[in-house]
Amino acid sequence: MDSLIETLESLDLRYADFIVAGSAPLLVHGLRSSIQDIDIVARGPEWEKVETRYGVTRAPYDDVLVAHISRHGIHVEILNGWFPRTLGWDVDHLIEKADVVQGVNFLPLDLTLAWKQALGRDKDLDDIRELENFLRTGNSHP
């Protein structure tokens, strides 16, 4: 968790204008011991900073743009939208719904579950089961 926060701090982006998505919410809630990368969705002037600092390419889904960077040996993807678009989530909506942990916006676990279910990837099946159990039983982790 400390290395995640350290990595986020190194990006020098205003926390109010981005949300950490992907599998990181499972990490901060104690449902994962590690993650492979960090997915960040940014908006407004913070997204503009990302475009200027790192350059962007088209992501392989919907009309989302992405910057690929490395910090502290961790791969970070910063996007200007989340996917799949069929979920109808814009960045403002995601940030409004955020779980705030140590001052950082994280995608809430219920939305993380919905996202992983919508993608239906084999690699997410264990996470889906873990999230369903966690949300059903109302367990809480620090």
pLDDT score of 63: 86
pTM across the whole model? 0.92
Residue 133 structure tokens? 């159990």
Question: What is the per-residue pLDDT across 7-32, written as a single tens digit (0 to 9) for each?
Answer: 999 999 999 999 999 999 999 999 99
Residue 1 structure tokens? 């968790």
Residue appearing with tokens 């910063």: 78
Greater model confidence, 138 or 45: 45
103-104-110 Cα angle (round to 5): 120
List, in sequence order, the alpha helices (H) in the chain: 2-10, 24-28, 44-54, 91-96, 109-119, 125-137
Question: What is the per-residue pLDDT across 26-78, written as a single tens digit (0 to 9) for each?
Answer: 999 999 999 989 999 999 999 999 999 998 999 988 889 999 999 888 999 99
pLDDT score of 142: 43
Do residues 90 and 4 lie in contact, with contact meaning Cβ atoms separated by under 8 Å? no
Question: At what angle are helices 125-137 and 109-119 packed, to 10 degrees?
Answer: 150
Please list the helix, strand and coil fractions of the chain in percent, rounded to the nearest 5, in that order: 45, 20, 35
Rounded CA-CA distance 69/133 in Å is 34
β-partners of residue 100 are 105
pLDDT score of 139: 67
